[in-house]
Structure 1
Amino acid sequence: MQTISIGMMTPTSTIRPMGKDYDRAFRKSIESTLKNTDFEVEIFTEMIGQGSVQKIEEALDKFFGFHDVDCVTGIMSQAGIQNLTEKFDKKEKPLVCSNLGEHFPLLDSESKCVFQNSIHLWQQAWNLGYYAGSELGSRGSVIAAVYDSGYAFLPAFQFGLLFANPNAFLDIKLLEMPVGGGLSDVKSIFDTVDWDGSDFVFPLFCGEEATIFLKEFKDRRLNEKTQLLGLPFLLERGTEDLSGISVYTSSESYNEQTPDPYCKDVFAMLGNRAGKAIGKAIIKDNGSPKFETLNQVLRSEGNSLYQLCESPRFLGPIHILKNTFGSGDSLSTERLKEQEYNISEDNQLNELRRGVNSSWINPYLGI
């Protein structure tokens, strides 16, 4: 029996057990893939807190200096890893960097060994903006909590909107930083928004703040005036009655029998995908997985380009969905269209990607 060693980087989240979900799914997936083979895996775990560059670098020093791992995986942001990719290229050992896609990959980031395993949320935000500008109208509003606005979602949505309609106007409302780690005062922003003059609204909230926003939106009967677009996490259900509200979202994949627009198990899904890909690469290479093989396997498993030097992107159209809340915890989902992916033609966005990546470096939902 040959042992393959894997380094696992696990962030600390105060919102949801993202690291635990990923780790469990990864182990289950790779063990299942390697079942009845002559390979077994040994996983070394390092906690990286909120995913700072320093914490990631310390973990890599242990992986390469002491454990001498064959490959590395875990949840870390694009901003956290982008300046450390040369460590993998020098050793020619692969990294499967899993995240939600909350940061722009910089255009000059290049690595043959680093792969992004992601649902590319910033690209989905761009596509929602594009859909809003081409289908819903020319005037919109963004309402965002401070944490959510510190990532690439807001500018990506704005660039998508302007790419579809250069004359579009977007009014941006940012809430103040909450005191003592509490919730943002979501209701306070409602009286400052021009609801009558907005064809659509893109609220950037998740968790309890999302529920507060949607409940207030319903209580004021604003669904009779304007359309809502949001990231999948706007759909998280609480105990409030949200029946009658519809939210446009996007998805890289869609299954009519079992639609999952909320992405409740997204970190388990990413862990499963990474475990299966690395396991298959181990089998194909008859040992330590090579980055060339991993690239081929990842391409065959999903709808994205994964290698960092290729600027990760979708290979096909994404799905624009309309989700309507019903009674209880029901949510009905309708696929409206498959939107062709032409984000690479957005020169303004590409110029932005040559500059500062984001205000926050930690993985989304890992604050």
Structure 2
Amino acid sequence: MQPKLLAARGPVFLAAAAGVAVSTVYAAQPLLVTIGADLGVRPDTIGALVTVTQLGYGLGLFLLVPLGDLLDRRRLIRLQFTLLAVALLVTGLARNAVMLFVGLAAVGALAVVTQSLVAYGAALSDPAVRGRTVGTITTGVVLGILLSRTTSGILTDLLGWRAVYLISCTVCLAITTQFRRKPPQAGDGGGPTRAERSSAGAGLTSGYVGLLRSTVGLWGEQGFRESAGRAFFIFASFSTLWTSIALPLTERGLSHSEIGAFGLIGAAGALAAGPAGRLADRGRGTVVTVAGSVLLATSWLVTAHPLVGLAIGAVLLDLAVQAIHVTNQSMIYRPDAGARLIGGYMVFYSLGSATGAIASTALYERAGWNGVCVLGAAFGIAAVVSSVRAARRTFRAFRPCGSCL
């Protein structure tokens, strides 16, 4: 995929591929009760299906995504999609809980190809439109997350839950063929250029271990810490809603397809990704993060009232989360460490998602839906605090000193 092709339709293809990859992480959410009953997983620990997938995702983000700064990005993406297909096959054929957990952990670890695609698209983009490109691919990611619930619900009602993973396996294999065409040229996004290798420092030249060390070292950058912290809180809130939502809806007698339909409602959140990316390109990322954080926290006031309130709250929550997510990535990205920055940042996304998943399902058994809403709102308030602190620091940095007046 050459630069001219990327400018024309490349981001759309990358968005579609990213959506397919990330959908494999979230496909199980509306099926938790069914999968648990089939393979003997207790209701109070059913959230562990999501948690193990997210923990695998976190490991993949740290161990695999940074390789995009060291290896040929296109070949890395192709290999990840191939291995993801194998993991999906194992999951779809699981005959017991152990095999299922192993398969889901592997799916999570290899679905990080999503972030490799984000870094790939960002590397191919002109800096002036990089936020827009990231926003386009993120739109695909959001749609993949939310529509996966709808698709998996329908497929389960028609063919059973295993069909969800077997069909996803086939689609991932089809995507690999699109990365086998022309070999990438240096500097076209297929891999790091010589200048990028040099500017990346000794970490890259010393090999993989040095690469991981440099990823850990990103924590020393204040901007990265702030964005990563917000990622943890916003996706803990996001996962609190979308992991536990199947529990009250199942109790109300909704089918898999009806539960999955809430993904269509939440898909409206994808509309925030494009405008947020354009605002980030114009230097308005800080404003977006503050406004989005406030919207995230307050959305839980509406979500506490199912079913109509739940639907409205889901839209508001997803709008807020995706707007913050795009600006977070756009503000920390730089070409010399693009894959490491995005991979390291997304580790906190995964940790937040895993925390929200296990905490919300356990809390629902004890405190019901209201308890889950309080938990989600608490994560949202933490995101507000983080965003306001960052905004105050930015304001002080640009405010003229008294002697200059």
TM-score after normalising by structure 2:
0.27
Q: Which has the higher strand share?
A: 1
* Structure with the largest fraction of helix: 2
The TM-score with structure 1 as length reference comes to 0.29
